[in-house]
């Protein structure tokens, strides 16, 4: 089955709130999180190809696998299997989202491929079927099917759309060090019986007006203990006048929120000029 080549965009995310509630017998952690897509995208070209699934990574070579281990390819393979369509796909990936960074890049690529292929083949899979495939690929993947901010519980798979967020200006700083999500959770050393604090789902009107007082991440001290740069970045971003600073997900990327584009722009210039070994990106919460 042929289709017209299609370009799709896969956004990164930040966790504005991330509370770990406990550990399940299978090793996964129960959490509560306010997750929000941001305006930083990987680009993916889906084109019909010879039988099979191939991927070519245009930039960031060596950062992500260019084979069947790439989450985009794994997602495509699951899609073709579930839809009972013979696989024939070329994927070209422009990797802009830092890898193993707490920004959910691989998960977003996977969700974008699931939705993109479902669209080009005329929606053979229902939303619950897509959701099931997404859950099998990783805890963060279902969130990216929501295409907007969401309140997440369970291991990140019980999702509720959260009203549109303000397009708040933000600066992301990544120390150019990869931090494995599995290692960060492991270092949390959470007992099976221990119960974390249960957070009430935040009141969305208040949070959306100003998320700063709500910013919280249980994994931040763990990541700091594994990568001291996270603490240095936090300090440096706060010194630029950010109204709030937090590490995203399992890190090590830190984001700073700013009251307007001008303040964010100045902070971005200052940080990129003075800390050349960090990757500094200007972005905003996706409205």
- Going by the annotation, the residues of the binding site are 98-108
For residue 77, the surrounding DSSP H or E stretch is helix 71-83
Bridge partners of 234, per DSSP, are none
Among 16, 38, 91, 101, binds ligand ATP (CB under 6 A): 101
Strands (E) across the chain are located at: 6-23, 29-48, 52-57, 88-94, 150-153, 158-161, 169-174, 216-217, 244-247, 254-257, 279-284
- Rule CB under 6 A: say whether 229 interacts with ligand ATP: no
C-beta of residue 53 within 8 angstroms of C-beta of residue 73: yes
| Span from 106-114, 166-174, 237-245, 265-273 in contact with ligand ATP (CB under 6 A) | 106-114
Residue nearer to ligand CDM on the CB measure, 88 or 177: 177
- Rule CB under 6 A: say whether 156 interacts with ligand CDM: yes
Selection from ligand ATP, ligand CDM, none that 27 binds (CB < 5 to 8 A by kind) is: ligand CDM
CB count in 10 Å sphere of residue 238:
14
C-beta of residue 207 within 8 angstroms of C-beta of residue 246: no
Residue nearer to ligand ATP on the CB measure, 153 or 263: 153
Active site residue 2: no
Residues of the binding site for ATP: 98-108
Within 17-36, which residues bind ligand CDM (CB under 6 A)?
18, 27-29, 31, 33
CA 275-97-44 angle, to 5 degrees, is 150
Within 41-100, which residues bind ligand CDM (CB under 6 A)?
none
- Rule CB under 6 A: say whether 283 interacts with ligand ATP: no
Selection from ligand ATP, ligand CDM, none that 185 binds (CB < 5 to 8 A by kind) is: ligand CDM
Within 224-253, which residues bind ligand CDM (CB under 6 A)?
249-250
Selection from ligand CDM, ligand ATP, none that 100 binds (CB < 5 to 8 A by kind) is: ligand ATP
C-beta of residue 158 within 8 angstroms of C-beta of residue 150: no
Active site residue 13: yes
C-beta of residue 102 within 8 angstroms of C-beta of residue 218: no
Q: Six-digit token pair at 257?
A: 């929120």
Among 35, 40, 80, 109, binds ligand ATP (CB under 6 A): 109
Task: Pick the catalytic residue from 23, 95, 109, 140.
Answer: 140
Q: Six-digit token pair at 87?
A: 């696989």
Classify strands 158-161 and 88-94 as parallel, antiparallel or unpaired.
unpaired
Among 77, 85, 88, 155, binds ligand CDM (CB under 6 A): 155
Residue 30 φ/ψ region, left for φ over 0, alpha for ψ in the -120 to 50 degree band, beta for the rest: beta
C-beta of residue 20 within 8 angstroms of C-beta of residue 196: yes
Residue with structure tokens 């000029």?
273
- Rule CB under 6 A: say whether 70 interacts with ligand ATP: yes
Total residue count of the chain as it appears in this document: 287
- Rule CB under 6 A: say whether 71 interacts with ligand ATP: yes
| Span from 101-109, 158-166, 264-272, 276-284 in contact with ligand ATP (CB under 6 A) | 101-109
Q: Which residues are catalytic?
A: 13, 140
Instruction: Summarize as ranges the residues that interact with ligand ATP (CB under 6 A).
Output: 64-65, 69-72, 99-107, 109, 140, 181, 249-250
């Amino acid at each position: 089955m042929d289709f017209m080549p299609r370009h799709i965009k896969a956004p990164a995310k930040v966790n504005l709130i991330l509370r770990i509630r406990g550990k399940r017998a299978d090793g996964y952690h129960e959490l509560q999180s306010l997750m929000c897509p941001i305006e930083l995208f990987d680009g993916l070209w889906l084109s019909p190809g010879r039988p099979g699934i191939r991927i070519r990574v245009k930039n960031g070579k060596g950062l992500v696998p260019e084979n069947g281990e790439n989450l985009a390819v794994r997602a495509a393979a699951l899609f073709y299997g579930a839809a009972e369509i013979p696989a024939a796909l070329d994927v070209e990936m422009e990797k802009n989202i830092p890898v193993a960074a707490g920004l959910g890049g691989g998960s977003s690529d996977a969700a974008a491929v699931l939705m993109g292929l479902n669209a080009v083949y005329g929606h053979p899979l229902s939303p619950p079927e897509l959701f099931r495939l997404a859950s099998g690929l990783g805890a963060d993947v279902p969130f990216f099917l929501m295409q907007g901010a969401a309140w997440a519980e369970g291991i990140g798979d019980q999702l509720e759309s959260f009203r549109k967020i303000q397009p708040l200006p933000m600066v992301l700083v990544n120390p150019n060090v990869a931090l494995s999500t599995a290692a960060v959770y492991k270092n949390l050393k959470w007992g099976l019986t221990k119960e974390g604090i249960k957070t009430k789902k935040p009141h969305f009107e208040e949070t959306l007006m100003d998320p700063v007082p709500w910013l919280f991440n249980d994994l931040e001290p763990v990541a700091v203990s594994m990568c001291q740069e996270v603490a240095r970045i936090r300090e440096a971003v706060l010194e630029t006048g950010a109204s709030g600073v937090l590490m995203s997900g399992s890190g090590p990327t830190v984001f700073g929120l700013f009251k307007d584009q001008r303040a964010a722009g100045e902070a971005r210039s200052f940080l990129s000029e003075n800390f050349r070994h960090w990757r500094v990106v200007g972005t905003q919460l996706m409205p």
